[in-house]
Amino acid sequence: MSLAAERAAASSSPPRVAARAGRLACFCPAGAPVEGEWRGVAALAGGFAASVLSQTLVLGLAPLAGLLLAPQASFAVLPLGALLLGAALATFPASLLLDAFGRRVSFALGASHGLAGALLCAWALSVHSFVALLLGMFWLGIAQGFSLFYRHEAALGASHAQRAAAIGLVFGAGALAGLAGPAVADLASGLSASAYVGAALAAGAAQFAAFSLAAFTSRRLPAPALSDAPAPRRWARMAAPTLVAGLAWFAMNLVMLAAPFSMIGCGVAAAGVFGAVAWHVVAMYAPALLLAFAPVTGAASARWLAALGLFVIVLALIVFIGAREALGFAAALVGLALGWSLATAGATLWLHEDAAPDRMMLATHDAILFACAIAGALAAFPFAR
C-alpha cells in the first residue's frame, strides 16, 4: 500500500482513545456525540431533584439534631459543618471520577454515600450519638459534593446555544423537590416514633432514588471545550465568577444556619422550621428555570445575572438583621435563596462561557464554594448559643 493510501485509511478510521489509569472501559470517546441529548439532560435533572429532596430534609434536620444531641449548645452547628466539609472534600474526587468512569458510576457512588449517611444519622438519633451523627452528616455531604456536578455535566453536554437552558432545567428540577419536602417530612414523621429519625430515613430514600436514576444518565464522558488561551489566563478568568458565587454561598449558609436557631428562639415548632427550610430550597432552584426560557447567553448576560443575585442577597441580609418574628426570618430565607440561585446560576454560566474550564478547574471552583459555605457556617456559631 502506498504512503498516500495508508494516510487515507488512517484518517478514515475511528479515533483512538488514549488509555488512562482508572478508565477500565470506554463505551464512547470523551466528547463523542450522544443521541437523545435532552433525554440525558432529563435524567440529570431527575437525579438532581432526588438529591435536592434529600438536601431539603437534611438542612432542616441538621440544626435541630445538633441542638438535641450536642454536648453543649455551641456545638449544634457542627452537623451542618460536617455536611459542608464532606461536600468540599468530595469535589476533586467527583470531578476526576466523572472523567475516568463516566456519569453512571460516579453519580451512583455519590448517592450510595448519601444513603449510608442518612441511615447512620437515623441510627445516631435513635441511640443519641453525636459523633455518629457527625459522621452520617459527613457522608451526606459527600453525596452533596457529587450532586453539585449535575449542573456542570448539563453544561458540558449541551451545545453553546442550549447551555443556559440545560443548566436551568437541571437547577429548576430542584424546585420541584423542594415543594415535595414538607409533605415527605410529614409522611416520614408519621411512619416513625421520632420526627427526626423519620426525616433521616426519608433523606435516605431520596438518595436511593438518586442512586437508581443514575442508571438512566448517559455513559458520555463530556470533554470540556477548552479555548486556545493558555492555562494561566483561563484560571485567571475563573476568579471573577468564583468570587461572586463564593460570596453568595457564604451569605446563604450564614443565614440558613442562623435562621432556624432564631426561629426556635421565637417558639416556632420543628414542623414550622422544616416548612421554612423547604420554601427556602424551592427558592434556591426555581429562579434558575428562567435560564431555560430567557435569552441568557454569553458571559456578559451571565455577569448581570450574577450581579443581580448579589443585590438580592444584600436585601435579604437587611431583612434578616431586622427580623423579630418567624415570618421575617422566613422572608429572609426565601430572599436569600432567590439571590443565591441567580448568583450561582449566573456564575456557572459565566464560568463555562468565559473560562472554558477543564475538570481540575471545575473541581477547584466547587471546592472554593464549599469552603466559603463552611466559613458561613462557622460565622453562625454565635446564633447557636
Number of structural domains (the chain) is 1
**pLDDT tens across the length of the chain (385 residues):** 444 444 444 444 443 344 444 444 444 444 443 444 555 677 888 888 888 888 878 877 887 888 888 888 778 878 888 998 898 888 888 888 877 777 888 888 999 999 999 999 999 999 999 999 999 999 999 998 888 888 777 777 666 667 777 777 777 777 777 677 666 766 766 666 577 888 888 899 899 999 988 887 765 555 555 556 677 888 888 899 999 999 999 998 888 777 777 776 666 666 666 667 777 777 887 776 666 665 555 556 778 888 999 999 999 999 888 777 767 778 888 899 889 988 988 888 888 777 677 778 888 888 898 889 888 878 877 765 5
Q: Is 36 exposed, middle or buried (0-12, 13-18, 19+ CB in 10 A)?
A: exposed
Give the whole-angstrom CA distance, residue 48 versus residue 166. 13
Amino acid identity of 376?
Answer: G
Residue 262: domain span: 40-384
Give the whole-angstrom CA distance, residue 146 versus residue 93. 9
Intra-chain end-to-end CA distance of the chain, in Å = 82
Count CB atoms within 10 A of the CB of residue 275.
18
Show the CA angle centred on residue 26, arms to residues 20 and 28, nearest 5°.
125
Whether the full predicted model's pTM is greater than 0.75, yes or no, is no
Q: In this structure, what C-alpha cell is assigned to residue 126? A: 435513635
Q: In this structure, what C-alpha cell is assigned to residue 41? A: 439532560
* Domain assignment of residue 33, yes or no: no
* Domain assignment of residue 147, yes or no: yes
CATH number of 159's domain: 1.20.1250.20
* Domain assignment of residue 10, yes or no: no
* Domain assignment of residue 185, yes or no: yes
* Domain assignment of residue 27, yes or no: no
User: Sign of torsion, CA 92 94 158 371?
Assistant: negative
Give the whole-angstrom CA distance, residue 5 versus residue 167. 45
pLDDT score, position 34: 44
